[in-house]
Structure 1
Amino acid sequence: MFFKKQKFALGLDIGSHSIKVAEITDSSHGLQLKNFGIAAVPAQAIVEGVVKERAQVADIIAALVNNLKITGKRTAASIAGYSVIIKKINMPLMSDKELEDNIAVEAAQYIPFDINDVYIDFQILGASVEKKDRMDVMLVAAKRETIDEYSELIRDANLVPTIIDVDPFALENAYEANYDTENHNIALVDIGASKININILINGVSTFTRDASFGGDQITDQIRSKFDLPYDQAEILKISGNVNGDKRPILEEIFSSTCSLWTMEIRRAIDFYYANYPDHSLAKIVLSGGSAKIAGLSDILRLETDIPVEIFDPFARIDVDPDRFDPEYIRQVGPQAAIAIGLALRSVET
């Protein structure tokens, strides 16, 4: 008997600082990286998830896809921020069909938008621990305007929008493909240019999510201000940390104060999680995103939370051909590739 290989979507992570594209295939060795690329996005072209310069961003995506010689069109992208509501809710036990018929009415209680202005999706997590006649459901609502705008952007780039996911679940998908998730609880923390996504998994099931409007741009903006540098040079200095003389203490203070602010926000989310799940201690915090490797962040976070911290490797169980991809480059870009890899692992119908 012959089995058709699973087809995966083209993973497209549209960030405010860069576009990431990933393509995964099934091979005889398992999952294999076929393509990966990053392209910079001009400042202010995308602001807090809102695409301000659609034609320009579409051209960047199309050029990146063409340069990588990607032929697949079916694309999975994701959104985050205040246009998305993710909430775990408790409902009476019912079938998928019954839930589908009733979810809009139930969702209206939790969504701060007009129910007609959102797309709604859900996943049944299982029977409630406290009451066996009820069940836990993960509710996701996204503003139609945002979904439609991202879909049009993808079409403008000559691709086909097939899946519009949300960042925390794309990150979870990448984690599940590369790590064991059973019998321990973890916090996935993605720190991008303008946002922090927190997704806490209990035994592999997403249980708590939170977004915060913080990110690497805070450091870049402070470097620009303190050292009177243009944006591009401030970004380079942020990444390299290369500064001498009396400027080094200034840079170190920027890193330290910003990492402390991020840590405070992450710790606040973890404290809220513990208030609701006191018996489910976290085994570790896993950092991803372009700002995950900011100097000192892991150490501060570990000290403040008393939880082990590690950097996400989205290629841990994905075969990467060293003749096609420089191993050092893959190691360096790993944390910021996580969402794109998670999206590239979404299956699409053939």
Structure 2
Amino acid sequence: MSWFNQKQNAVLGVDISTAAVKLLELSRVGARYRVESYAVAPLPKDAVIDKHIANVNVIADAIKSAVKQSGTKLKQAAVAVSGSAVMTKIITMPASLSEDEMEEQIMVEADQYVPYSLDEVNFDFEVQRPNENNPDMVDVLLAASRKENVDDRVETLLKAGLKAKIVDVEAFAMENAFSLLADQFTDASEGQTVAIADIGASMATLNVLHGSKTVYTREQGFGGKQLTEEIQRRYGLSYEEAGLAKRQGGLPDNYAVDVLEPFKRAMVQQIARSLQFFVSSSANRGIDSLILAGGCASIPGIDKLAEQSLGVPAYIANPFINMALSSKVKPQALSNDAPAMMIACGLALRSFE
């Protein structure tokens, strides 16, 4: 189980979220990335429940259709488990140990760190930096997840004809993708605290990064599904029709004022609440800027509303802004989907480590 750096060839980033499967293939020429292929395939309502795979076959079919739609030839993939399914911990170990010796020692001491028996868990570790208090020790990041979370994703990819080369953690994939955004903000310099609010169909995840490293993650049940359900209720549509109308328009004139505006306010309130938890959970002053990601970040004007309400600069995530595009990628479609492609992008970047 490789969660951290291993040299490898190109991998397809596959993000399995509640509402869709998102695929992305990147290449690199010199320092510049290029989007080779990408696709988004919708998932039916209960294929993924609370970040857990409920229906392997349905998701495998969606991945197959996304692979076909994207035209990618890659067979190796990187996929991620959600933050709530993963336990991470910083432990200190002697700097003199080799990687194999570290692994042995972690195996011996694992029951101190992980509340499950070892045969139920996949884990990986990465040396972070020398320990501040003792130069003979290093800080090691340990990540562990129950095997079922990992196995379900591996099996789903296999059924879709792909091989899981890497199982990552969503927060790390987000951190990886953030490296592409950092140069878009003049203020994302060292020492800045940036919050990424990733609002998907049913889950709102707040990742706070300080100096480009994740320092806080929180998941809340909230998302675009609530807007879809409200459209469904108010205009007498099926769930599928409501989702389509939400994306493509064609709803009555009162939609913007009566339905969309209240949802936008609820979304900003949700972000504000998560930020309050962050500030109170640590000795933090607050954040310097906010990045909006996930499908809900595409709602027009949400960045302005967040900026006014929260009093910090807010940006819509677009990890592709400085990338070249292959001829089979439609620029407008990619730009519309960009905020929802952060995790897929962080996974696809694993090709170049």
Q: Give the TM bin, normalised by the shorter chain.
A: 0.7 to 0.9
* 8 Å contact kept, 1:46–1:52: yes
1:7-26 to 2 correspondence within 5 Å?
A: 7-26=9-28
Find the counterpart in structure 1 of residue 204 from structure 2: 196
Give the counterpart of 1:311 among 309, 313, 316. 316
Give the counterpart of 1:290 among 291, 295, 302. 295
1:264-275 to 2 correspondence within 5 Å?
A: 264-272=272-280, 275=282
Find the counterpart in structure 2 of residue 170 from structure 1: 173
Cα distance, 1:130–1:214 mapped onto 2, change above 3 Å: farther
Identity across the alignment (%):
28
* 8 Å contact kept, 1:189–1:197: yes
Cα distance, 1:40–1:199 mapped onto 2, change above 3 Å: same
Give the counterpart of 2:155 among 146, 152, 157. 152
Between stretches 21-30 and 104-113, larger displacement belongs to 104-113
Cα distance, 1:168–1:235 mapped onto 2, change above 3 Å: same
What is the distance in 2 between the residues matched to 1:109 and 1:295? Answer: 48
Give the counterpart of 1:251 among 242, 251, 259. 259
Find the counterpart in structure 2 of residue 276 from structure 1: 283
Check if 1:40 corresponds to 2:28: no
* 8 Å contact kept, 1:9–1:344: yes
User: Post-superposition shift, 1:319?
Assistant: 1.3
Unpaired stretches in structure 2, ≥5 consecutive residues: 1-6
* 8 Å contact kept, 1:104–1:120: no
Unpaired stretches in structure 1, ≥5 consecutive residues: none
Cα distance, 1:182–1:93 mapped onto 2, change above 3 Å: farther
Between stretches 282-291 and 173-182, larger displacement belongs to 173-182
SS at match of 2:339: helix
Q: What's the TM-score, normalizing by structure 1? A: 0.84
Between stretches 204-213 and 156-165, larger displacement belongs to 204-213
What is the distance in 2 between the residues matched to 1:63 and 1:9? Answer: 18
Find the counterpart in structure 1 of residue 182 from structure 2: 179
* 8 Å contact kept, 1:80–1:166: yes
User: Post-superposition shift, 1:34?
Assistant: 0.5
SS at match of 1:342: helix
What is the Cα-based RMSD across aligned positions, in Å? 3.0
Find the counterpart in structure 1 of residue 337 from structure 2: 333
* 8 Å contact kept, 1:78–1:165: yes
Cα distance, 1:34–1:268 mapped onto 2, change above 3 Å: same
Aligned residues: 340
What is the distance in 2 between the residues matched to 1:240 and 1:324? Answer: 22
What is the distance in 1 between the residues matched to 2:268 and 2:340? Answer: 21
What is the distance in 2 between the residues matched to 1:138 and 1:68? Answer: 35
What is the distance in 2 between the residues matched to 1:200 and 1:106? Answer: 30
1:95-106 to 2 correspondence within 5 Å?
A: 95=97, 97=99, 99-104=102-107
What is the distance in 2 between the residues matched to 1:107 and 1:200? Answer: 28
User: Post-superposition shift, 1:152?
Assistant: 0.8
